[in-house]
Structure 1
Amino acid sequence: MTKTLEPVNTIDELPNSTTVVIIGGGVIGVSAALTLAERNIPVVLLEKGHIAGEQSSRNLGWVRKTNRHAADVPLALAADQLWTHMPERIQQPVGYTQCGIMFLAKTEEQMAMFETWTDSVQALDLGSRLLSASEIDQRAPGGKGQWAGAIYTPSDGRAEPSMAASAMAKSAIEKGAILVQNCAARTLSTSGGKVTGVVTEKGEVRCDQVLLAGGAWSRRFLGNLGIALPTLPLVASVLRTRPMEGPTDISVGGPDFSFRKHKDGGFIITQRSALNAPLTLDHLLVGWRYISQLRAEGGSLRVSVGREFFEDLALARRWSANKRSPFEKVRTRDPRVNPGLNQEALTNLIKAWPAFTDAEIEEEWAGVIDVTPDSNPVIDRIEALPGLTVATGFSGHGFGTGPAAGHLAADLVSDTTPIVDPGTYRFDRL
């Protein structure tokens, strides 16, 4: 969580019943609650900590179509429209601007990958184009990097994680949704093999449908129900500079850094090619499924063994409804920042754009992302437990598609024609 996260005031009293219960107050859950409230469908959202306290306020804020899997682009296109009209829809700003996103290539091999991706989405008319080194310099002057080229999508953009989910949550409340913070969902109530309610630390809420949008916690919640979700927790470290003059308002992704303008005039920077992997039991159980994926994407994991392993091991993987759950023991997952990784990102960026030489760090933070084996999320009904829908596993890409992903999840729980074909996000593919 950044220190600029806007708080949301919610009620403490838990209703006895509703139509839909949403577990998780990140951008996906909040977007779904907003959509359902606008349809006059009674909905209660439960958040164990506070709204957007974890990855929904800790991400980079990119809203992109570029370099997504081709099957995932329709959801990103739908999100573009929802982001564009969000301020009008909720009567509050979310920091959205269509600034464009540019990914840089160091080698001809990387340029060939960009060209292959551009060809794969040509029918979607995204406006993406390949740039030469001179065209990069025109859009981001003062650079010293030796680039083979870039891929650039002018219609991509950014929004502000510190304000977006909070603003949507406030609007959802105004439109009739009930949001309850500091209230952990322990498990589900069932009858005749179907969901009938959610058992929380404050009591039970009876309902017809449940949407689980618990981010990196979803695997543990489902595991307690006997449902296996093979997501892997990884940690991204991020920094924000103080206000400064930069080379461009375009968001830029380099091989080993990325930067984008922040609403306060500084820049959000990260080491784009590396993530931390503090070992936990999940890494040992499902990590083998990710080896080929990481190699294909050219990323690296900074693996470490430390207190995180034992802290995770101390959290139960099975518990009963009348026992304190792991979600009450850890309200907000706040992983340690890797300052070395952030400094590495800044050093790499300075070599490429010396304008960042005098950048001063205003704050640093880290967040846990839940990665699936194919980097696409799960947005699907769970056939093994009718009445349960899951929207999780967004693999660090969920903020940008958040409004559309929440909308799609709301479509599924309310049996409405989906905003996009949900086939790409089937649970059974995993």
Structure 2
Amino acid sequence: MELITNERNEEQWYQTLTFKVVMIGALVLLLLIPLGMVKSVIRERQATEAEVERELFEKWGGEQVLTGPILHVPTYYYLKEDEKLTKHKRWLHVMPELLSVNGSVEPEVRYRGIYKKVLYNSDLQIEGAFEKLDQMVINADEVDWESAYVTIGISDNRGIKGELVFNWNDHALEPEAGMVITDLNNSGVSLKVPLTKENLADKFAFDVKFKLSGAKSLMFNPIGKITKVDLESGWNNPSFTGAFSPIEPELNEEGFKAGWAVTHLNRNFPQHWLGRSFQIDTHQFGVNLYDPVNHYQKSLRSAKYGILIISLTLLVFLFIELVKKKEVQIIQYLLVGLALVLFFSVLTALSEHIGFSWAYLVAALSIITLVTSYSYGMIRDKQQAFWIFIMLSVLYLFLFVLLQLNDFAFLAGNIGLLIALGAIMKASLKIKTATTSTEVA
């Protein structure tokens, strides 16, 4: 009879609440390993996508920043060194009085395998003028007006399609590849302009026409005393970015129209200076052709909530076991946890082909059905299996809503956790720890 009592006590110690909680906690920590492996796969797929993007940009043209036209004039000053006068050269940089840019930006979607990238072709026309150069105060001993150049900074010359037509006071000038002066830009085109001391009092008007391809963004530097930029495009997901916002942009399903107006008072560099005294790339503005489908980022964000979904689901199974006296084996907890981890892998794989939203729906329904069916097979209770189905549906719906939020995701997540904790605390009140008295036969 004493032997029977000892056997009953031995059966009860690993069925206690404390032991179950410890084992489930250890199981959750163990499931962090496959969950981390899934995150690693997502990051690897992201890296592959980035490599594909880099290859496309190399052939098409990357993010474009347009700067110019800017007039550059070589100047010289003399210094006495070792009782000898030495001649030193500095470039005078002159910004235009007026700069007006009109352009159309047409998106083009390119595929490389399963990866999709948004590129664009733009048709640009630039007009403006330099005013009366003889009125400038220049701190130099000599000014070589005859050796002046105009440059147009283009961040990626591979994007130039066809000819670049440049007119200077209605006379066509031949562009040269590369930058003669690298004080302000490292990439672009240069043009020798016909300046002389006799025509410095004239107004020098210019107009430029060329086609430029690129990817992601098209940006501008406001180098004019008055800079105006007007763009239109067939892309309906623009993201206006940079130091200045457009004035009353028009957005619709057919695309967008946007215009900017910037004056010299809005920036931190003057109309002319010598050498490298100022930088002009801190006031860029323009547009990103934003691609709203970023399924890898959303998949990775969802996986960060994986431990929460796993913990809540296993807690529900624990409550069912304790309240309804339905015994669940540790191996069964493990299988349920692995099914929940599998969701994030299935989501990532499907989103590469059918988009994130549809992939989320298919993956969630698959895992919910799998876990619900398995839970019914374990506990043989349709009502409890139904509540597991409802619980998982609410969890995955809540996670989907969180992934759609940006500014309020942290707040919504905390509210959801507070509600979940309250529900768990209420459910825990139904758990009664009973002591079994041993009868001596």
TM > 0.5: no
Q: Which has the larger radius of gyration?
A: 2
Question: Higher helix share goes to which structure?
Answer: 2
Relative to total residues, which structure has the larger strand share, 1 or 2? 2
TM-score by length of 1: 0.21
TM-score (norm 2): 0.21
Higher relative contact order (CA 8 A, sep 6+): 1
